[in-house]
A and B are shown apart, each in its own frame.
Chain A
Amino acid sequence: MSQDGPGRNQAGQDQAGIVIAGAGHAGGSVVAFLRQYGWKGRITLVGEEPLLPYQRPPLSKAWLKREATADNLALRPARFYEQQRIETRLGTRVTAIDRAAREVHLADGGTLPYDRLVLATGASPRRLGLPGAEMSGVLALRSAADADALAAVLEPGRRLAIIGGGYIGLEVAASARALGAEAVVIEREARVLARVAGTDLSAMIEARHRAEGVEVLLDAAVEGIEGEAGAAQAVRLRDGRRIACDAVLVGIGAMPNEALAVECGLEAGGGITVDLAARTSDPLIYAIGDCTRRPLPLYGREARLESVPNAIEQAKQAAADICGRPPPVPEVPWFWSDQYDLRLQIAGLAFDPAEAVLRGSPEDGSFAVFHLAADHRVLAVEAVNAPADFMAGRILVAKARQVAPGLLHDSAVPLKELAI
């Protein structure tokens, strides 16, 4: 492809435009916001997968259960990119950034000049790093291709061993049961969702999975994968137990894809360092989504957030800054997960919580847990089939509202009055 886009020399304006490295949810969103916010110049979206940007959340749910089509999965139809004059370079990736020359090198041998570069490189599944982890049948879930490989083994009579009781593992366990397959969740910690949820929520989710026929093994350290002829047949635990299976899903977290940034000298470490305008340490380079470590103004610290809402928020920040618009209002981080008929919605992050307040009843399947700081400031809410509590919690967190635990606990007190 020519580097001389139409009008490159027009009115002395450099028309190298904006290059986006990574065509996931973050990359797919920032191109749309750039046009929406008035960027008229060239936009080139570089994606390693052969597909236009698509939604990853359904991969462990509707897509796995074959309830979604490729059309449903796509963020936007192909004609969107034509109509919005967004050039796509799929099936290749950025291999190096030359900051001095303001250009990126591509795996297919090409180079692209940039006026602004947006890194939206995402994260990669953390690898098991144990004997047998390279066998066939040991799967991860990040891409549509990963999901297709997983779907192929989820049939009645087949047994899936899932290493890691986090969101991915539990959502896949629920989908496996819906498809008639057996599922065993192997969790290293004493409870599922140990890294991301409070103990009440963990207990309720675990009980529900057990009731659905999922075997849940806690405090279970994996020794390695065993098999024959290079194909996985069992997970061996350190205590000697052998969990027979037809395939293994490894869902033990993800690592930020920050090598490109590190190699060209950008500040990084546990994610590419960005500010609230998604700017890296190079003013011409932005980073958004799972690959970043970002400030959390509500909490006075930095963290890496792996979520679609975060990808969209940072896409807005970058697009606004590039287009000279005022920055968007900081949002409360939030997450959701669907398992069986449970809708989990989590708003805020429970850093150093002093108290957890239960509202509603886990036995009835609808409840929320509010996490409060020592001064009763609402830090986070975890809601299960309780959308109103989630919405109220999101507002309470945004306003850093202090609320007496007794009021939150009392279902007779309308949260709306506390929140608005």
Chain B
Amino acid sequence: MPQVTYIEHDGTEHRIALEAGKSVMQGAVDNAIPGIDADCGGECACATCHVYVDEAWLAQCGTPGEQEASMLSFAATAAPNSRLSCQITMSPALDGLIVRMPEAQH
């Protein structure tokens, strides 16, 4: 199963196996990894699952859709490598993915 590493704002690392087809957001929620709120449950409606994708993985994660980009542009701590983790679907090509969490989702 492909692996994802989540790094909390304080540096705490969580490495989990996440089956292909599940979102990076769901992986965090299912494994009690703090720092991703996911209020809307993965509908790209709330921007509370914001992560920074490790630069080495940016291209493989694809580009944000229009809705996602709009939502992200208002996140207080958005950066060029920001994504909403509910919009990143796990696949074998993403095995080893590293994402970092912002200090807060609001």
Nearest residue in B to A73 (C-beta to C-beta)? B41
Q: Nearest residue in A to B29 (C-beta to C-beta)?
A: A76
Asked if A35 contacts B32 (CB within 8 A), the reply is: yes
Does residue B71 face the partner (Cβ distance < 8 Å to A)? Answer: yes
- On chain B, the residues within 8 Å of A391 by CB distance are 47, 70-71, 73-75
Q: A57, B30: Cβ atoms under 8 Å? A: no
Q: Return B39 CB to nearest CB of chain A, in Å.
A: 5
Contact with B along A220-248 (1 / 0, CB 8 A): 00000000000000000000000000000
Q: In the complex, A312 Cα to B34 Cα: how many Å?
A: 14
Question: Cβ of A179 < 8 Å from any Cβ of B?
Answer: no
Instruction: List, in ascending order, chain A residues with CB within 8 A of B46's CB.
Output: 309, 334, 336
Contacts of B83-106 to chain A: CB distance below 8 A: 106
Q: How far is the CA of A416 from the CA of B39 in the complex (A)?
A: 23
Q: Which residue of A lies closest to B68 (CB)?
A: A387
Residues 5-63 (chain B) with a chain A CB within 8 angstroms: 29-32, 34, 37, 39-41, 43, 45-47
Q: Which residues of chain A come closer than 8 Å to B29, judged between CB atoms? A: 32, 75-76
Complex Cα distance, B98 from A40, in Å, reads 29
Within the complex, which residue of B37, B45, B70 is in contact with A336, where a contact is CB–CB below 8 Å? B45
Q: Does A299 contact B (CB under 8 A)?
A: no
Flag if B34 contacts A420 (CB, 8 Å): no
Question: Contact check: which of B30, B40, B71, B73 meets A308 at CB < 8 Å?
Answer: B40
Contacts A76-B29, A76-B30, A391-B71 given; does A312 touch B39 at CB 8 Å = yes
Beyond A388-B74, A395-B74, whether A83 also contacts B32 by CB under 8 A is yes
Contact between B45 and A329, CB atoms less than 8 A apart: no
In the assembled complex, the CB of A64 is this many whole angstroms from the nearest CB of chain B, namely 15
B37 to chain A, nearest CB (A): 7
**Known contacts being A387-B71, A388-B73, is A345 close to B41, with CB within 8 Å?**
no
What's the Cα separation between A285 and B68 when bound, in Å?
39
Minimum Cβ distance to chain A for residue B87 (Å): 12
Interface size class of chain A, counting residues whose CB lies under 8 Å from the partner chain: 20 to 34
Alpha-carbon separation in the docked complex, A76 to B70 (Å) = 28
Would you call A343 an interface residue if the criterion is a C-beta within 8 Å of the partner chain's C-beta atoms? yes
- Quick one: closest B residue to A62, CB to CB? B43
Tell me the chain A residues, 319-362 only, with Cβ under 8 Å from chain B. Answer: 329, 331, 334, 336, 338, 343, 345
Chain A residues 345 to 398 lying within 8 A of chain B, measured CB to CB, are 345, 387-388, 391-392, 394-395
**Given A312-B37, A391-B47, A36:B74 Cβ within 8 A:** no
The answer to whether A80 and B30 have CB atoms under 8 Å apart is yes
Q: In the complex, are the beta carbons of A36 and B71 less than 8 A apart?
A: no
A419–B29 alpha-carbon span in the complex (Å)? 30
Q: When the two chains form their complex, are residues A329 and B39 in contact, meaning their CB atoms are under 8 A apart?
A: no
B30 touches A77 (CB 8 A): yes
- Given A77-B30, A343-B67, the answer on whether A308 and B74 have CB atoms closer than 8 Å is no
Interchain nearest-CB distance for B60 vs A (Å): 24
Interface hits, A88-141 → B, CB 8 Å: none
Least Cβ distance of B83 to chain A in Å? 15
Q: How many angstroms from the CA of A182 to the CA of B43 in the assembled complex?
A: 27
Q: How far is the CA of A345 from the CA of B46 in the complex (A)?
A: 9
- Are A329 and B106 also in contact (CB < 8 A) when A36-B32, A76-B30, A343-B45 are? yes
Q: Which residues of A contact B45 (CB under 8 A)?
A: 336, 343, 345, 387
A309 touches B70 (CB 8 A): no
Q: Does A84 contact B (CB under 8 A)?
A: yes
B37 nearest CB neighbor, chain A only: A312
The answer to whether A55 and B41 touch across the interface, beta carbons within 8 angstroms, is yes
| Complexed CA–CA distance, A391 and B69 (Å) | 11
B71 neighbours in A (Cβ, 8 Å): 387-388, 391
Task: Given A75-B41, A420-B76, output 13 extra A-B contacts at Cβ < 8 Å.
Answer: A32-B29, A57-B40, A80-B31, A80-B32, A309-B39, A331-B106, A334-B46, A336-B46, A338-B43, A387-B71, A388-B73, A391-B47, A416-B74
Question: Could you give 14 example pairs across A and B, Cβ below 8 Å?
Answer: A57-B40, A75-B29, A84-B32, A308-B39, A308-B41, A309-B40, A312-B37, A329-B106, A331-B106, A338-B43, A343-B67, A387-B67, A391-B70, A419-B74
Interface residues of B (CB under 8 A from A): 29-32, 34, 37, 39-41, 43, 45-47, 67, 70-71, 73-76, 106
The 9 closest A-B pairs by CB, nearest first: A391-B74, A388-B70, A387-B70, A336-B45, A309-B39, A36-B34, A55-B41, A387-B71, A387-B67
